[in-house]
Amino acid sequence: MSKGSTMLEKYSGTLSEYQAKKVLKQAEIPCVEEKLAKTADEAVDYANNIGYPVILKVDSQDVQHKTDIGAVEDAHDETEIRKRFDIIKQNVHRQNEDPKINGILVEKNSMELKQF
């Protein structure tokens, strides 16, 4: 039995992105480094450590198509993180009356789009 399948036994139903990446890492499959932030302050602290720009994404088993509902945002500084952290949560609540939100994933945006 692989390490990933052992990890999967801990979960039932749909996995959130963060949970799925934990399973992949357990199976030694490389993933983008990220932090699950419960508060905007945690998101800011992590972004300050890894550098800007960052991507913010809701982590929820109830949301599979994050971009479709505005639950993925980029941020270039602390002010943007705080604003977008709240926007993401509001967008999720508009789509689902009682979503289970585990937090907001923060990861380095290494592929920022350049305008030509």
**Domains in the chain, CATH or no CATH each:** 1-31 (no CATH), 34-108 (3.30.1490.20)
In this predicted structure, what is the pLDDT of residue 72?
A: 95
Q: Which residue has the higher pLDDT, 114 or 64?
A: 64
Nearest to 101 by CA among 42, 60, 40: 60
In this predicted structure, what is the pLDDT of residue 115?
A: 45
**Predicted model pTM:** 0.78
pLDDT of residue 3 exceeding 60: no
Nearest to 39 by CA among 86, 98, 96, 91: 86
